[in-house]
Amino acid sequence: MLEEDKGTTGITIRNLYKIFGANPKAHIDAVRNGMTKAELNARHGHVLGLRDINIDMPAGHIQVVMGLSGSGKSTLIRHINRLIDPTAGEVLIDGADVVKMNAAELRAFRRHKTAMVFQKFALLPHRTVLENVVYGLEIQGVARAKQLEAARRWIARVGLEGFEDNYPNQLSGGMQQRVGLARALANDAPILLMDEAFSALDPLIRMDMQSVLLDLQKEIRKTVVFITHDLDEALRLGDRIAILRNGQIVQQGTGQDIVMKPADDYIASFVQHVNRGRVIVVEAIMKPGMHDKGAGLPLVPQGTILEHAARIMTERRIGALHVQDADGKPMGYVDMQSIIAAMVTPAGP
């Protein structure tokens, strides 16, 4: 499979701080010693963008960074390819610290290691779809024939065949973002940065684009960093999710962790409106051993969502299911009672 050659580039962010203002270095120690964002702004007129960010983004998976506007999520993603310089901290990719790169190294890094998709598409309006998609390869100095070959392949892959010679303005928002995605993918970089890539799209088209991304990710296995303010989107796409608030990470983990064990009231209030039946999987609420009805019950694989398990039970008019792991070994059972209990939103704080 493709996994071995592409999935080796993880991202490690260590103690990352960003202060906006005239003289950020002067205030870094005060912030390290616990000065709050409000205090820093009131006393020194500097804005705290990010405070002590530590994330390990595993190679070949989708890492979602979620937060509301002003939480610093777009600032954070721009530190990975250093469109924004940090005040302190490290961004380690393939053993190299992006923060310490000089201009030439940084350019080479951006050309070969990362590709980015933007909220407002940021396509070149004077170039056709085809010419937009070749952009990254053109910058790298790849031979023209190869540029075109890759561009046509990715344009077809995102479903835009036949639109190669259109200008971005002639396309709808959803189609424009497909161009943005094709442009990033044509670059063939191991890291894909997506800054609120689907936020500007209509809900239906957004769902559609999420499916396109998940579908593609099964083949390309890139390290995807996906920024969003939408928890449903985060839960659907994210192998791992980090939640950002006021420039700090308040919780990190899988979607399960966040829905089942919200770290604080802030996250709990977010999670309240999630359709839990589509997020929580059977093994999260499974009881060990066999159900007392014994071996007659149907088996479902681990990773089955509660909604699906409940549907099987109602269709077959049974009250419990057995769960098996990837090798087909039984792991435990779930019953209707516990499924309903898990799907009902706990009383809000």
Is residue 214 involved in binding other proteins (CB under 8 A)?
A: no
Stretch that binds other proteins, among 28-36, 132-140, 144-152, 198-206 (CB under 8 A): 132-140
Strands laid side by side in the 320-324 sheet: 287-288, 330-335, 320-324, 299-301
Is residue 38 involved in binding other proteins (CB under 8 A)?
A: no
Is residue 126 involved in binding other proteins (CB under 8 A)?
A: yes
Rounded CA separation 311/286 (Å): 17
User: What HEC string does 53-86 produce?
Assistant: EEEEECCCCEEEEECCCCCCHHHHHHHHCCCCCC
Is residue 135 involved in binding other proteins (CB under 8 A)?
A: yes
Buried b (16+ CB within 10 A) or exposed e, 334-343: bbeebbeebb
- Binding other proteins (rule: CB under 8 A), the pick from 140, 199, 324, 338 is 140
Buried b (16+ CB within 10 A) or exposed e, 123-156: beeeebbbbbbbbbbeeeebeeeebbebbbebbe
Is residue 116 involved in binding other proteins (CB under 8 A)?
A: yes
What are the beta bridge partners of residue 16? Answer: 53
- Binding other proteins (rule: CB under 8 A), the pick from 6, 18, 44, 110 is 110
Is residue 122 involved in binding other proteins (CB under 8 A)?
A: yes
Contact at 8 Å (CB) between 109 and 81? yes
Q: Which amino acid is at 273?
A: H
Q: In terms of CB distance, is 102 or 169 closer to other proteins?
A: 169
Smallest gap from Cβ 96 to other proteins, in A, equals 15
Q: Which amino acid is at 303?
A: G
Q: DSSP state, 348?
A: P
- Binding other proteins (rule: CB under 8 A), the pick from 2, 108, 312, 341 is 108
Rounded CA separation 41/37 (Å): 6
Is residue 193 involved in binding other proteins (CB under 8 A)?
A: yes
Is residue 339 involved in binding other proteins (CB under 8 A)?
A: no
Q: How many residues bind other proteins (CB under 8 A)?
A: 33
Is residue 120 involved in binding other proteins (CB under 8 A)?
A: yes
Rounded CA separation 230/173 (Å): 19
Is residue 115 involved in binding other proteins (CB under 8 A)?
A: yes
Site string for other proteins, 223-242 (x = CB under 8 A): --------------------
C-alpha triplet 22, 28, 226: angle, nearest 5°: 90
Stretch that binds other proteins, among 42-50, 106-114, 224-232, 297-305 (CB under 8 A): 106-114
- Binding other proteins (rule: CB under 8 A), the pick from 75, 81, 147, 210 is 81
Q: In terms of CB distance, is 115 or 209 closer to other proteins?
A: 115
Q: In terms of CB distance, is 112 or 278 closer to other proteins?
A: 112
Rounded CA separation 227/193 (Å): 8
Smallest gap from Cβ 234 to other proteins, in A, equals 22
β-pairing, 330-335 vs 287-288, is antiparallel
Is residue 330 involved in binding other proteins (CB under 8 A)?
A: no
Is residue 170 involved in binding other proteins (CB under 8 A)?
A: yes
Rounded CA separation 332/321 (Å): 9
Smallest gap from Cβ 155 to other proteins, in A, equals 17
Q: In terms of CB distance, is 9 or 324 closer to other proteins?
A: 9
Is residue 187 involved in binding other proteins (CB under 8 A)?
A: yes
Rounded CA separation 335/291 (Å): 8
Which residues are at the interface with other proteins (CB under 8 A)? 81, 83, 106-112, 114-116, 118, 120, 122-127, 135-136, 138-140, 167, 169-172, 175, 187, 193
